[in-house]
Structure 1
Amino acid sequence: MSEENEQPQGDAQVVLLTQYIRDLSFESPNAPSIFRLIEEKKPAINVNVGVRVNQMGAEGYETVMTITVEAKSEDTVAFVVELEYGTLWGIRGVPEQHLPPLLLVECPRLMFPFARRILADAIRDGGFPAVLLEPVDFGALYRAQRGAMPEGTKPN
C-alpha cells in the first residue's frame, strides 16, 4: 500500500465496543489436602499468556487474550486457572501495516488489568491467596510471535 493511499493519522478511529469472558476454568484437583501442603511449602506459579486476533467484518476485530496460571507445591498441583478474555474493537482509518501491533500489543495492554482482576478473583474464590500477575510485555510477545512465523504470513 503506497503512502498516497493511506488515510491521514487524524482520521484514525479505534473504539472498544465490548469486552467479555469467552471461557473461564478453575480447577483444584488436590483439594482439600493441598491446603495443608501449601502451608508447608509455598507453591511455584507458572503463567502462560497468548494473544490472537479474529477479523469480524470490514472494520471489526476481536482480540482474545489467553492466560493460564498453574500453581504447584512440590509436584502436586494446587490449582490451574485458564481465562480467555475477549474484546471487540471497531477500527477505521488505520493503515494495514499498523493493525498487527495495534491489535496484538496495544489492545492487550489495555485489556490486561481487567483479565488480571478476573484471575485474581477466581484464585481467591477458589480458596487460595490472590495472585496479582506482573505486567506483561506484549511488545516482546509480539516480536517473539513474529520471529517464529514463516515469511509472508500474518500474525493472528
Structure 2
Amino acid sequence: MATQNGGPTQNQAPSLNVLAQYIKDFSFENPNAPRSLGAPQSQPDVNIQIHVNAKPGANNEFEVELKVEGGAKVGGETLFAFELVYAGIFRVLNVPEQALQPVVLIECPRMLFPFARQIIAEAVRNGGFPPLLIDPVDFTALYQQRLQENAAAQQPAGQA
C-alpha cells in the first residue's frame, strides 16, 4: 500500500533514531592525590560495572541510561573512582512488540557506549592517570544475563 496524503504506509521499515544524548550524572574521585599519581608498585586492579535501564516516554520514545561505574586500586588503596550515567532519548518506530525490548536494551546502549567510553577515558586522563580505555561491551550478553536473573527471581522458593 502506498502513502496517500501523508498517511503511513502499511509496510514501513523499522527505525531507530537518536533524538538526544547527554550526561545525566557524573563523578570522578582521586582521593589520594598527589600521592597516588606516582608510578604504582604493582599493576592496578581495575573494576568496571555496567548497567542499562530504560523508561518509556511519549510518541514511541525511550530514555535509555547507560550507567558505568568503577575505579582502580593498588594494594587496597584507591587510585581513582568514577560513576557515569550517560543517557539518550531514542525514537523506535515499526518494531514488532517482541523485538522492542531487545532493541531498547541492546541496540540503544550500544550506540551510547562509545561516547560514555570517551568521557571516562578523558576524565581518568585529566585526573593524572593514563586514559582508561574500556573494552567493547557485549550488550546482548548483558541483556541475556538480565533475563536469566529476572527469571530466577520469579521462581518460587525451593525450585531450581
TM-score band by shorter chain is 0.7 to 0.9
Task: Please give the residue correspondences for 1:29-48 in structure 2 after superposition, counting only pairs within 5 Å.
Answer: 29-36=31-38, 38-48=39-49
Partner residue of 1:19 out of 18, 21, 24: 21
> Against the structure 1 CA distance between its residues 116 and 35, is the aligned structure 2 distance closer, same or farther, given a 3 Å change threshold?
same
Question: What is the deviation of 1:26?
Answer: 0.1
How many residues are matched?
Answer: 145
Aligned runs of 1:41-80 on 2, under 5 Å?
A: 41-80=42-81
Alpha-carbon contact 1:9-1:94 (below 8 Å) kept = no
Rg comparison, structure with higher value: 2
| Aligned mates of 1:46, 1:17 — CA distance in 2 | 31
DSSP 3-state at the match of 1:64: strand
Residue by residue, what CA displacement relative to the aligned partner does 1:28-79 show, whole Å, maximum 9, x if unpaired? 111111123x432231111100101011114110110000121001100000
The answer to which of 51-60 and 140-149 deviates more is: 51-60
Counterpart of 1:105 in 2: which secondary structure? helix
The TM-score normalised by the length of structure 1 is 0.86
Q: Which runs of 5+ in 2 are unaligned?
A: 1-8, 155-160
Give the SS at the match of 1:149: helix
Corresponding residue number in structure 2 for 1:3: none
* TM score, norm. by length of structure 2: 0.84
1:140 aligns with 2:133: no
Q: Which has the higher contact order (CA 8 A, sep 6+)?
A: 1
Instruction: Say whether the 8 Å CA contact 1:19–1:87 is kept in structure 2.
Output: yes
1:29 is paired with a residue of what secondary structure? coil
Deviations 1:79-130 (A, max 9, x none): 0011100010011211111111101111111111111000000100111110
Q: Percent identity?
A: 37
Note if contact 1:70-1:81 (Cα within 8 Å) is conserved in structure 2: yes
